[in-house]
Amino acid sequence: MIPRLRLQAIQKSFGATRALRGVSLKVAPGEVHALIGENGAGKSTLMKILSGACLADSGTIEFEGQPFLPRNPHHARKCGIAMIYQELTLAPHLSVEENIVLGDEPSKFGWLDTRVRRESVRKALAELHSESIPIESPVNRLTIAQQQIVEIARALLGQPKVLIMDEPTSSLTSVDTEHLFTAIHQLRKRGVSIIYISHFLEECQRVCDRFTVLRDGETVASGEMKSADLNQIIRFMVGREMSELYPQTPHRPGKPLLEVRSLAGSSKPRSVTLTLREGEILGIAGLIGAGRTETLRAIFGLDRVSQGEVVIGNKTRTCASPPRRLREGIGLLSENRKEEGLMLNRSIADNLTATRYGPVATCGFISAARQNRAACDWIQRLDVKAQHPEQPIVELSGGNQQKIAVGRLLHHDARILLLDEPTRGIDVGSKAQIYKLMGELATQGKAIIFVSSYLPELLGVCDTIAVMCRGVLSAAKPVAEWDEHAIIASAIGHGEGEPGS
């Protein structure tokens, strides 16, 4: 069969950095092709070239047997190549409906056809089993996970021949991931070619036909996905053995550091009661919109608390601002690193040290040398692919930006860490590093609340797990008493004794 898409010897440099060093890739009609590699391996750069966002320095692209040179993303999309970016590209103040049809609005006699527009939008969301998303609502009022679904729906609306999915499930719960997989199956039956970029290798093995592995901007392996050895793929990715994905660091929960009693926000959460002990990793699971993120925001002082109590140590500290929470030793890692997590116009060093200047200051003045030394230490510990600590953080890949966001909490030396999807967009090797760090922090007596939509990591990392259902948090139970089925049942309100049952 003639490949629908063939990329040959693609090279791309950004200044002195060689992002791609002769990458080749081919995809057949109706094939789901996994593109695998660590952060900074060149995956996103390669797809930006294919989707017209940037030009290759050399190499060739063939699309349906003909030479192809996308001039820009709009041109590529008109030709049948659509991309769902890991970093969302929505217009935040436009409605869901307006975002989904943006750039391809249906018209009749020169006027927008609102009836056709609305029908096509509802059809695209229904294909993803997400009819409940309000299409009149501005996108900036949706959760990150809902925004991800809107991004996917926009790509599906254009009936693409080649669909590029860059970490499409990174913000989705297991239930929404299943809906996405159903949509992928339907697209494959239509003959759509899909390039699937993901750090979840189990997902790749489940939905993909073939794979290509990139490392340091080069193609290092390719083959059939079903017969692939995942450990071998990991070795290709990282260039070394991965002895254990969920490393276990011995730690024992101690006295309570944080207690939340019947906490409620303006809309979510409705009722949250939990006790977080020193040296404990408490996981929180739940569906999109259940109230997990809102719970962390309310505890940290970003969202208003309408009732309930927050007790830190043995002192009631219900209402507080984020600066006060930082002084009290609480740190938050937001799920939205672009809007709440990072200062994209500042350097890596500035981002790492922003909430705690004491260790890098002398007589009240920041020492650039000490700041850079501290930043270099975290860059090395977290294996961040960066040129130097003064490099603008916007130049890093999404996964390396996430590492810096985690590093800032570690530099702040918080006693209580509120982590909202901390491994979103991070490769397998880096996830193992984050898990190991969490275990080490627990060993030091730190207390961690770990919100994640990826159930295997909750089961592999946490000491206890609680499940959020419709704004109500279940009682936390030891991780040994949970499995994926029980978590999902509780999340949809069917768990025995859980909210909504």
Q: What are the angstrom distances between the C-alpha of 98 and each of 112, 130, 160, 263, 359?
A: 11, 16, 19, 36, 48
Angle at 439 between CA 433 and CA 444, to 5 degrees: 125
pLDDT at 20: 93
Tokens 């740190």, residue? 331
pLDDT at 500: 39
pLDDT at 416: 95
pLDDT at 501: 36
Per-residue confidence in pLDDT tens, the chain, 501 aa:
678 999 999 999 987 678 899 999 999 999 999 999 877 788 989 999 999 999 999 999 999 999 999 999 889 988 999 988 777 788 989 999 999 988 777 777 778 778 888 899 998 898 888 888 999 999 988 877 788 889 888 888 878 899 999 888 877 777 778 888 888 888 888 899 999 998 788 889 999 999 999 988 999 999 999 888 888 887 888 775 555 678 888 898 999 999 999 999 988 899 999 999 999 999 999 876 789 999 999 999 999 999 999 999 888 888 889 999 999 999 999 887 767 778 888 999 999 998 888 888 888 889 999 999 999 999 998 888 888 999 999 888 777 888 898 888 888 888 999 999 888 777 777 788 888 889 999 999 999 999 998 888 999 999 999 999 989 999 999 999 998 888 988 987 765 444 433
Would you say the CATH fold of 244-329+414-501 matches that of 5-238?
Answer: yes
pLDDT at 499: 44
SS3 352: helix
Query: CATH second-level architecture of 5-238?
Result: 3-Layer(aba) Sandwich (3.40)
Calculate what percentage of the chain has a pLDDT beyond 90: 47
- H or E element: which one contains 484? helix 484-491
Among candidate residues 372, 433, 385, 423, the one with its CA nearest the CA of residue 245: 433
**Residues 93, 95, 96, 101, CA torsion sign:** negative
Cis amide leading into 3 (omega within 30): no
pLDDT at 245: 73
**Domain boundaries, given as residue ranges, for the chain:** 5-238, 244-329+414-501, 340-413
pLDDT at 254: 92
pLDDT tens digits, 70-99: 999 889 988 999 988 777 788 989 999 999
pLDDT at 241: 56
pLDDT at 495: 55
Per CATH, which fold does 244-329+414-501 belong to?
Rossmann fold (3.40.50)
Among candidate residues 331, 332, 349, 302, the one with its CA nearest the CA of residue 413: 331
Averaged pLDDT score across all residues of the chain: 87
* Three-state SS annotation for 111-134: EECHHHHHHHHHHHHHHCCCCCCC
In 219-233, which positions are buried (b, 16+ CB within 10 angstroms) versus exposed (e)? Answer: bbbbeebeebeeeeb
pLDDT at 142: 86
Among candidate residues 87, 89, 94, 91, the one with its CA nearest the CA of residue 77: 89
CB–CB of 43/37 below 8 Å?
A: yes
Give the pairing of strands 416-420 and 330-333. parallel
Q: Cβ contacts of residue 345 below 8 Å, gap of 6+?
A: 392, 394
Question: Which letter does DSSP use for residue 480 in this model?
Answer: G
- Please name the residue ranges forming H helices in 214-263: 230-238
CB–CB of 148/172 below 8 Å?
A: yes
DSSP symbols for 368-427: HHHHHHHHHHHHHHTT---S-TTSBGGGS-HHHHHHHHHHHHHHHT-SEEEEESTTTT--
For the chain, percent helix, then strand, then coil, each to nearest 5? 35, 25, 40
